[in-house]
Amino acid sequence: MTTLPPLDDLLSGAHVVSLPMRVRFRGVDVREALLLEGPSGWGEFGPFVEYSDAESARWLAAAIEAAYAVWPAPVRTAVSVNATVSAVGPDRVAEVLARFDGCTTAKVKVAEKGQSLDDDVDRVAAVRSAMGSGARVRIDANGGWDVATATEALRRLTAYDLEYAEQPCATVEELIELRTALARKGIDVPIAADESIRKADDPIRVARLGAADIVVVKVAPLGGVGSALEVVEACGLPAVVSSALDTSIGIAAGVALAAALPTLDHACGLGTVGLFERDVSATPWRPAAGLLRTGRAVPDAGALADLAAPPERQQWWRERLVRCHAVLAGGSGR
């Protein structure tokens, strides 16, 4: 892990921003994050508000790595990314896809609370219709289905030629049971694990127990680019790099990870800056011709001022940083 900087250094270079979303995503209408400036550039500390300090400390470790260390050398200069379709109605699918220039892969959110499986099928069907038969379409349930529901959902959705289903069930044990059920019924949909890796005390367990075909890794929840690379290597499965609803600062770290992977056979979920009404960078990291290039993102001073969170939220995030710094100082963060 990168040497832990003094707390005062982190606080002195901290900016808390509040970014309105174009559409509700993962239950979020406004995305908040704390940005850190250090000698290597900018880092992003943005664990979701419900996360514990122990879990959030990994996000702080990733932000410190970005701001104070050097990322691993890339083996490619550009990374293919997917479009992300939130839980919108089928009538809004074309509008959402239009924000992702040149992307030939789409990730579609399903299992949204308050919606039905019919809603999911209609959304996936609209994506397939809009993108054509040559595109790749994957779904992400965020662990929202039980095994029986997931089996039925994938039976119905397999008609749309899914690339894979991301975290259809919440637990590793359920993923194992689901894979068995799908094989028994002759349903051929690969399973990708996300939460079973980034929220786990043992992120390798999902691969060790044969619960997934693909691993989805995110820089911040795994403690940084270097740590995430170690997880991918230990899992020994194909990897997809995804964002955690990051600003351009965090997206740059995700691209650094994807660019450093020895092999990369799938488009990455890093094209999410377009979900914000406005980004912190004057040149937001949005895909061009379906690609994102390596480099460092730098926030715009005007955007930092315009997007500054209200004073009470500034204080909340700074206090959270203090607590997470203590976790890292005590050696409790992975």
Length of the chain: 334
Q: Running DSSP on this structure, what letter comes out for residue 312?
A: H
Q: 118, 116, 136: which is closest to 127 by C-alpha?
A: 136
Q: Which residues contact 91 (CB under 8 A, 6 or more apart)?
A: 126
- The counts of H helices and E strands in the chain are 12, 12
**Distance in angstroms (rounded) separating the CA atoms of residues 236 and 16:** 37
**Distance in angstroms (rounded) separating the CA atoms of residues 97 and 330:** 45
Tell whether 140 is in a known binding site.
Answer: yes
Q: 36, 41, 38: which is closest to 17 by C-alpha?
A: 36
Cα 140–Cα 145–Cα 150 angle in degrees, nearest 5? 85
**Distance in angstroms (rounded) separating the CA atoms of residues 85 and 121:** 13
Q: Render the burial of 167-189: b for 16+ CB within 10 Å, e for the rest.
A: bbbbebebbbbbbebbeeeebeb
- Among positive and negative, which fits the CA dihedral 171, 230, 258, 17? positive
Tell whether 194 is in a known binding site.
Answer: yes
Q: What are the residue numbers of the active site?
A: 109, 218
- Residue ranges of the annotated binding site for Mg(2+) are 140, 166, 194
- Residue ranges of the annotated binding site are 140, 166, 194
